[in-house]
Structure 1
Amino acid sequence: MRGWILDCYADEVNNEMVTWIKTSTGVERISDREYRPCFYVKPSAERRQDLLLGLKEAGVEHRWEQHRTWLTGPLEDVLKVTPRGYRNLMPLARTVDKWGCHRDHTLFNVDTRMDTRYFLHRKVFPMGLMDVERWKNLDTPFRLDYPMPELRSCELTLETSTRRGMPTLEDRLKRATLDDVVMEGKEADILELLQQALRDQDPDVLITDGGDSFHLPFLEKCAERNEMELELGREGGKRRGKGKSYFTYGRILYKPPAYKLRGRIHLDKGSSFIFQEGKMAGLIDLCRLSRISMQDMARMSPGSAISAMQVNEASKMGSLVMWKKNLPEEFKTAAELVASDRGGLIYEPKVGLHEHIQEVDFTSLYPSIMVRHNISPETLNCDCCQDSGEPVPGLGYWTCSKRRGLLGRVLEPIVRRRISLKRLKKEGGRRSQIYDQQAKVLKWVLVTCFGYTGYRNARFGRIECHESITAHGREILMRSAEVAERRGFRVLHGIVDSLWLSGDGDVEAYCREIGQRMGIPLVWDGEYKWIVFLPNLTNGAGALNRYYGAFQDGELKVRGIALRRRDTCTLARELQQGMLDRLVLGEDAEGFRHRIPEALDVLDSFIRDLRDMETPLEKLVLSKRITRELNEYRQKNDQFRALCQLEDQGFRTPPGEAVEFIMIKGKEVKVAQFLEGDEEYDVGRYEELLFRAAGELLSPFELGQDRLRDFYRRNGAK
C-alpha cells in the first residue's frame, strides 16, 4: 500500500505514536507503541553518581552511549534516559536539570518535536509518498515536482446570536455552514448535523477563518452546554495547545491556543502566516522540507521551520542538540564592538524625484553569503584553520576551509530550490502558480535564517556569525557600488542587498560582472520611469526604506508609506492609492509634476466627503496592536479607551492582539465591533490622517502635512 503521511502525533494517554496515512482509497490510522522517546545527559563529574542513583531509585531506564555533543566535537560518553511514558519526558528532564542545580548537567534532545523525532527515527517525512508496509520513502523532500494526494477540504463558517457585532462563548449557535451545506435549528440539532456532515463528506482538511481563536472553542462550549460529545476529527480526543504573547522584531504578538484535530487537518487560514503567503502548495512544501506535520506547520513561523531543518541536519551529522543552549558571546573591546556591530551597508537616498532609475538586487544575499563563505557557529574561528581559513572582512574572524558548516548544508539546497522555482514560474505552464507559492514561502524561510544567527536563544545562533554575514554584505555592496560608478552609473540609494542607479551604463553587463565577481547573482529588477525617495519625518534626511516609484510598464512599487501599513485606516490607504493612480500617468519627472494637481484633487474629494459626513464608518476603522495589560497603561490613549470598552463588555484582549476602533467626537473612540451605524466620527482627527497620508507622498515638493493642513483651514475644500 502506498500513501502520504497526513498527520502524526504522540498519544500521551496510550504511549504511542499515531500516524494518519492518506491513500488512494481513503485514510489509514497506524499506531506504534514500540517507539520510546528519550533524551541524553552529560553529567558533571561531581554529580555523576548522584544522577545515576537518582535515576535508579526512580526506576528510570538509562544507559551509557557515545555521541557527539557538538557539531564538530569528538564522541563522548553521555547517558541515554528513556522515560516510562511520553508525558514523563519533559517533567523528568526538568527534574534531572534541577538535580544538577541547572548548571552541572547538560541535557540534549529534550525539546525536539515529537513528530519530528519520529520522522527522523523512521527516516520518512510528511506529505511524501511512501510504501506504508515497509515505511520506505518513494520520494525525496527536495524534489521539485512530486506526486501529491487529492486532499478533500471543506470550509466551516458559523453564525451566532450576538447582537453587538463581537460574538462571545456565551452566545447561542444560530447557523453552521460546511461548504454549501447549511445547518439551522436548535443548537443541539446543529451540532448533530455538523458532525454528520463531516462524517458524510469526510474532508481531509477542515478550513476555518478564526477557528483557533473562536470557532472551535465556541463549538466546544456549545457541546458542553448541551451535554454532548463533540467530534470534529476522524476520532475523538482533544489536541489543544496554549495561547501566548511573545516579542519579536520590536512588536508584541499574540498566538491563540491551537485547536488541532485527530486524523483531520484543522487549518485556521486567519492565523496561518505560511498558508496566507503560500496557500496549500507552499504549506505542504515546507512540511516536507522541515519534517513537521501540516497541522503544526500551519501554526508556526518560517523561523520555526528553519530551526527544525537545522535540528534535522545536526541529527544527520551525528550530533545531539543541546537543551537550554548557553553559548556566551566572545569578549570584545569597545573598538571591536564598534567595528563588528554595524549591520548592513546603507547609501543614504537622495531625497526627491528622479527619472530613468535602475534597481538591482542580490538574490537571497545573506543566505548566499552563509553558503558561499561557510559561515556557521562551528566553522567560525575554528581551531583547525587559524592560518588557512577564509578571513571575514574587517573583523579578524575566519571560517573553516576543511569542513562544511551546518548552516551552509541546510541553506544551500533551499537557495538553489528557490532559484529553480522562480525560473520554473517564469517559464509558465499549469504549475506556474504552485511554483510561485512555494517560492514565496521559501523567501520567508531564507529571510528569517539570518536573524536566527544573532538570536541568543536560537539553537544554532551565534552573534559572531551574524556579524560576519553583515561584514561580507557591506563589502559586497561597497564593491558593487564601486564597479557601478566605474561603469558610468551614479548610486542614488543602496540598502543591504539593493542598489538604485542613475546613468546610461549597460545594466545587464554590470549584473553579469558582479555575479561573477561575488559568486552571488545580481538581478535587474527593472527601470523606473520615475521614483520618489522620501525624507525622514524628524530630520529631513533621506529615509532608508520609504519610497514609491513607477516602472516603465506602469507597475507601482511602494515601501514604508501608509498604503503598506496595517495600523492605518482604509480611508488613508485609499487616498494614497487614488493619488498614486494619478501620478503614475506621468511618463517622466516632468509628467509626474504635471500630475500633482490631479493628485491634490483626489485629496480634495476625500476631505469634502469627510466634512460632509459621507465617509462610511468601515473605512475609518483603525487597528492598533496591544502591548500590555489594561492595568499597565499609564496614559489614557486610544488603545486604553478601546480596552476599557472591551473589558466592560467582558472581553479580555491579551498583549499582542489588535483592537479595532473608530475615533468619535470628544476625543473618544468606539470599538469597531460595537458600532451601531449612527456614530459621528471626529472629522478633525481623520483630516489629520488624510493630511499626513497626502503629505507623506508630496513632502519632497513642499506639500507636506503642515502646509496641506494650513491650506484647507484657510480655504476649505473646493
Structure 2
Amino acid sequence: MIDVLLDNTYKTEKDKGIIYLYLLNSILKDYNFKPYFYVELYEDAKEEDIEEVKKFLLRKDLLKFVEDMEIVKKRIIREEKDILKIIATHPQKVPKLRVIKEFEKVKEIYEHDIPFAKRYMIDNDIVPMIYFDFEKKRVVSDKLPELKMVAFDIEVVDNKIIMASFWDEKGGKVLTYKDFSHESVELVKDEKELILKIIEILKNYDLIFTYNGDYYDFPFLKERAKFYGLKVKLGRGGEEIKIKRGVETKVYIPGRVHIDLYPIAKRLLKLTKYTLEDVVYNLFNVEKLKIKNFVEYWEDKDNILVEYSLQDAKYTYLIGKYFLPLEVMFSRIINQVLFEVTRMSSSQMVEYLLMKRAYKLNYIVPNKPSEEEYKRRVAESYEGGYVKEPIKGIHENIVYLDFKSLYPSIIISYNISPDTLDCPCCKEESEKILGHWFCKRRIGLIPMTVKDLVRRRVEIKERLKKEKDKLLNYEQQSLKILANSVYGYLAYPRARFYNKVCAEIITFLGRKYIMETIKEAEVFGFTVLYADTDGIFLTIKGENKEAILKKAYNFLNHINSKLPEDMELEFEGFYSRGIFITKKKYALITEEGEIIIKGLEYVRRDWSGIAKRTQKEVLEALLKEGDIEKAKKIIKETIKKLRNLEVDKEELIIYTQITKDLNEYKSTAPHVELAKRLVREGKKIKPGDVLGYIIVKGAKQVSERAKLPEEVSLDEIDINYYIDNQILPPIIRIMESLGVSEKELKQEKQLTLDNFF
C-alpha cells in the first residue's frame, strides 16, 4: 500500500496502547508495538535477576504492569553489556515502573522517558511526508505529497470572535455575522454559527497553517466554543483538538497537520520583530495592511477590516508554502512527524537524529540530565572559537575565505564522539588532544551521523549541478543546518548526548586551524583584516582585485594540501569595500552593491527606527562612496531634526521582547516596567510578546518613563535620551573606528555677539 504518513499517535483500546498511523488516504493501526525501557544492573544481567526483579515489583504491586521481561545485549557508551528490557502493558504504566531504580541491584534505567509515538518512529523505518510503500517499507517517490492545505486566522473584538478568514490554493474567504459589502464575505447568523462553520471548513483539509495559532487562534476558538457548549472536534476520527501545555504550548489535531508558522519564522529568520507583517515584508517585500482600531471598523462595517482579515490568511498561506519544503525535509531526515518537527529547535532535531542512529547501532540512548546535573553543566565553561581583533577602519578589495563546515569536518576527521573518547583499545597509538584521545579502530556515533549528513549533501549538490530541482535544494539546506548544529548540540546542557570534553576539543582544534591559516596568510603577503571562528578576511594594500584574487586561489591550494582529508578552506566572496569596528561588528559591500551587516544595531530589535535608519544611511555613505564627510553630515542633520522635532513619532518607537514571566525580572527596564503597568490595567502580557514604547521627559528613571506610542505627543518626547542613547551609540562605534569623535558629531554652532548683528 502506497500512501503518505501525516501524523502518528497512540490510543488506548482494551487497556493496550495502539499506534495510529494517520495516512493521507487511510489509517493504519499497529497492535504489536509495545512500550519498553531498559534496566542496567551493576553486573551483567542473568536469568535469576529477572526473578528477583519480578519479586521486587510484586512487593510494590507493580508486576501487573509488566507484560514481559528479557535479557538483551546493548552498548552503553563504549561497553557492551547484558541488561534487562522491561516491556510494559501500557505506555502510561512506564512512569510507575521507574520505581525499579530503588532495587539494590539496579545501577540505572534508560529510555523510560521517550514518548511512545516518537519511540515508534525511532524504531521503525517509516519515513513521514513522502510517498511510502507500507508493505515493503521503502520510499516510492520523493516528491512533495499533494496535500489539501489551508491557512486559518480569527479576528476578535470585545472577547468575541467576529471574523474567521481562510485561504487555500483557490483563494480566500471571510466568515462574519455582519453584512459587509465585500465580495469575499460569507455571512453567518452569529458567533456560535461562526464557530460551527470554522470546524466544518477545517475538517476538509490535511494541513492547517496558522500564525501564532498555538497560543492564540486555536486556544481562543476552543474557549469560545466551550462558552456555547461546543467542542472543536477537528481530528480525523472526530477527536477534539488537544492543547499540550509545557515549556511551549502546542495545539495538536489528531490525523491532521497543524503548523504554527511563528516558531518556524523565529528559528529560520533573523528579524527585529516577528509579527506577521514583518515576516511578510522580509520574505516577499510586501507591506501587508495594518489597522489598529478594530472596534471602529467593526462598528462601521468598514471593508478594510475584511481586507485585513483576508490578508492575514493569504500571507499565512504564502509563508506556509515558503517554509513547508524545508520542514518536510527535516521531517524525513529525522523520522518524526511534521507537527513535532515544526516545533523543534535545531538541537532537538539533532537529538532525534542521534536517537534514530543509536537504535540502529544497538546503542543505549543516554538519559536527559536531572536539574542538578543540568546546573552542573551550565556552570562548566571552556574557550570557544578564535576571534581576531579587527584592523579598524575602511578597507578595499577584501577576500573572504572560510572552512567548509569547520566543526562538522573536525568531528569527522578526529572521530570525536562520547563513545570514542579515551577508548582503552588504542590509547598508546592515538594523538593526545588536551590530554584526551579518540578511537582509531571504530567510528563513533556522532561522526558517523555527521559524515552521513555531509555525504548526502555533497551528493545532492552534485545532482543540483545537472538538475534545477528546488526540492533538492531544500534537502541540501536541511542537511547543512543539521550538520552544523551537532557541535552546538554536544555543548547544550540539556542534551542527552552532551559531552563537555568533546565540545571543548572541537573548539580547540577550530582555533588551531584558523590561527595556523592566519600565520600562513601573512607569510603569503596578505593583511589579515579580521578572523572569526572559521573564516578570515584578507587584502593586500596597493594591489587590485585581479592580483588579490589570483594570490587568494594560490593560497587556497597551498592550505588545502596540508589539511586533513575531510577539511577544506573555500573561497567565499569578494567585497569591494568593508568597515571593521570591533569583534563581531563589521559591514561589507559586494560589487553588486549589496550591503552585508554583522553584529551592528541595524539588525537588532531594541533600537528605534530613527537609530537604525541613520546607521543604515551612514553605512551606505561609507561603503558605497567611501565618504566620511557625508556620513558626518547625515548624523549632524539627524540630531538637528530631532532637536527641532522634525521627526515622525513612529521612528522613535523602541521594540523589546518580554522573554520571561514579569515576576522573574530582577532588574528594571523600560519594557518590563511598561509591561507591569499594562498588567495592572488588565491587559495580558506573556513571554514572547514584543512591546513598542517611547521614552518621555521627566525626572524619574528612564525605566519609569516608557509609554505606549499612542499615549505620547511629540513635545513630550525626551529628545536628549534619543540622541545620547539611540542615535549616537551605534554610530559612534563606526565613526570612532574612522577617527571621528563623539564630541565632533554632537558639536552645535555656538552663539556669539556676531549672531546678533
Q: TM-score, normalised by structure 1?
A: 0.83
CA separation in 1, counterparts of 2:355 and 2:97? Answer: 22
CA contact (8 A) 2:366 2:497 kept: no
Offset at residue 146 of structure 1 (A): 2.3
Selected match of 2:229 from 218, 227, 237: 227
Provide Cα deviations, 1:137-169, integer angstroms capped at 9, x if missing partner: 125xxxxx922211222111211105xxxxxxx
2:710 partner letter: L
Selected match of 1:663 from 684, 692, 695: 695
Gaps of 5+ in 1: 140-144, 163-170, 245-254, 330-336, 535-542, 587-591
Q: Give the 3 Å change call, closer, same or farther, for CA 230–457 of structure 1 in structure 2.
A: closer
CA separation in 1, counterparts of 2:741 and 2:193? Answer: 60
Q: 2:180 aligned with 1:148, yes or no?
A: no
Q: Which moved more, 1:121-130 or 1:650-659?
A: 650-659
Aligned ranges 1:111-126 → 2 under 5 Å? 111-126=113-128
Match of 1:205 in 2: 207
CA contact (8 A) 1:178 1:194 kept: no
CA contact (8 A) 1:122 1:135 kept: no
Q: 2:395 aligned with 1:354, yes or no?
A: yes
1:514 partner letter: I
CA contact (8 A) 2:122 2:355 kept: no
Match of 2:710 in 1: 675
Match of 1:218 in 2: 220
Selected match of 2:469 from 431, 440, 446: 431
Q: Give the 3 Å change call, closer, same or farther, for CA 53–630 of structure 1 in structure 2.
A: same
Q: Give the 3 Å change call, closer, same or farther, for CA 560–317 of structure 1 in structure 2.
A: same
Offset at residue 386 of structure 1 (A): 0.8
Offset at residue 361 of structure 1 (A): 0.7
Aligned ranges 1:517-528 → 2 under 5 Å? 517-518=562-563, 519=565, 520-528=567-575
Offset at residue 648 of structure 1 (A): 1.4
CA separation in 2, counterparts of 1:12 and 1:375? Answer: 43
Match of 1:513 in 2: 558
Offset at residue 617 of structure 1 (A): 4.1
Match of 1:106 in 2: 108
Offset at residue 221 of structure 1 (A): 0.8
Q: 2:3 aligned with 1:3, yes or no?
A: yes
Selected match of 2:722 from 686, 710, 717: 686
Match of 1:39 in 2: 37
CA separation in 1, counterparts of 2:227 and 2:749? Answer: 58
Provide Cα deviations, 1:151-204, integer angstroms capped at 9, x if missing partner: 222111211105xxxxxxxx11111101112100121121122122223xx222
Q: 2:79 aligned with 1:73, yes or no?
A: yes
Q: Which moved more, 1:381-390 or 1:624-633?
A: 624-633
CA contact (8 A) 1:274 1:298 kept: no
Q: Give the 3 Å change call, closer, same or farther, for CA 74–578 of structure 1 in structure 2.
A: same
CA separation in 1, counterparts of 2:250 and 2:162? Answer: 24
Offset at residue 312 of structure 1 (A): 0.9
Q: Give the 3 Å change call, closer, same or farther, for CA 69–417 of structure 1 in structure 2.
A: closer
Match of 2:161 in 1: 173
1:431 partner letter: D
Selected match of 1:263 from 255, 259, 263: 255
Q: Give the 3 Å change call, closer, same or farther, for CA 230–696 of structure 1 in structure 2.
A: same
Offset at residue 372 of structure 1 (A): 1.4
Offset at residue 275 of structure 1 (A): 7.2
| SS of structure 1 residue aligned to 2:385 | coil
CA separation in 2, counterparts of 1:417 and 1:486? Answer: 37
Match of 1:130 in 2: 132
| SS of structure 2 residue aligned to 1:272 | helix
Q: 2:199 aligned with 1:195, yes or no?
A: yes
1:40 partner letter: Y
Q: Give the 3 Å change call, closer, same or farther, for CA 655–183 of structure 1 in structure 2.
A: closer
Q: 2:577 aligned with 1:530, yes or no?
A: yes
Match of 1:250 in 2: none
2:241 partner letter: K
Gaps of 5+ in 2: 178-189, 270-321, 374-378, 541-547, 753-757
Selected match of 2:607 from 556, 568, 572: 568
CA separation in 1, counterparts of 2:742 and 2:103? Answer: 62
CA separation in 2, counterparts of 1:484 and 1:42? Answer: 53
| SS of structure 2 residue aligned to 1:18 | strand
CA separation in 1, counterparts of 2:413 and 2:267? Answer: 31
Offset at residue 611 of structure 1 (A): 4.2
2:202 partner letter: L
Q: Give the 3 Å change call, closer, same or farther, for CA 112–273 of structure 1 in structure 2.
A: farther
Q: Give the 3 Å change call, closer, same or farther, for CA 413–699 of structure 1 in structure 2.
A: same
CA contact (8 A) 2:78 2:423 kept: no
CA contact (8 A) 1:376 1:405 kept: yes
Provide Cα deviations, 1:617-647, integer angstroms capped at 9, x if missing partner: 4443323344554345454431331221231
Q: TM-score, normalised by structure 2?
A: 0.79
CA separation in 2, counterparts of 1:69 and 1:314? Answer: 9
CA contact (8 A) 1:455 1:461 kept: yes
Aligned ranges 1:299-698 → 2 under 5 Å? 299-324=343-368, 341-392=382-433, 395-420=434-459, 427=465, 430-432=468-470, 434-503=471-540, 504=548, 506-518=551-563, 519=565, 520-534=567-581, 543-586=582-625, 592=626, 595-604=627-636, 606-613=638-645, 615-626=647-658, 629-651=661-683, 653-654=685-686, 658-666=690-698, 667=702, 668-669=704-705, 672=708, 675=710, 680-688=716-724, 689-698=726-735
CA contact (8 A) 1:357 1:501 kept: yes
1:527 partner letter: F
CA separation in 1, counterparts of 2:164 and 2:642? Answer: 38
Q: Give the 3 Å change call, closer, same or farther, for CA 198–487 of structure 1 in structure 2.
A: same
CA contact (8 A) 1:106 1:322 kept: no
Provide Cα deviations, 1:331-354, integer angstroms capped at 9, x if missing partner: xxxxxx99x943322322112222
Identity within the alignment, % = 24
CA separation in 1, counterparts of 2:676 and 2:510? Answer: 48
Q: Give the 3 Å change call, closer, same or farther, for CA 84–359 of structure 1 in structure 2.
A: same
CA separation in 2, counterparts of 1:564 and 1:529? Answer: 22
Provide Cα deviations, 1:347-389, integer angstroms capped at 9, x if missing partner: 2211222222211011110011001111111112110011122
Provide Cα deviations, 1:277-306, integer angstroms capped at 9, x if missing partner: 581111111111111110011001010011
CA contact (8 A) 1:567 1:623 kept: yes
Selected match of 1:161 from 157, 160, 165: 157
| Cα root mean square deviation, aligned | 3.2
Selected match of 1:86 from 91, 100, 117: 91
CA separation in 2, counterparts of 1:571 and 1:66? Answer: 66
Offset at residue 96 of structure 1 (A): 3.0
2:262 partner letter: G
Offset at residue 309 of structure 1 (A): 0.9
Q: Which moved more, 1:568-577 or 1:300-309?
A: 568-577
1:54 partner letter: F
CA contact (8 A) 2:17 2:90 kept: yes
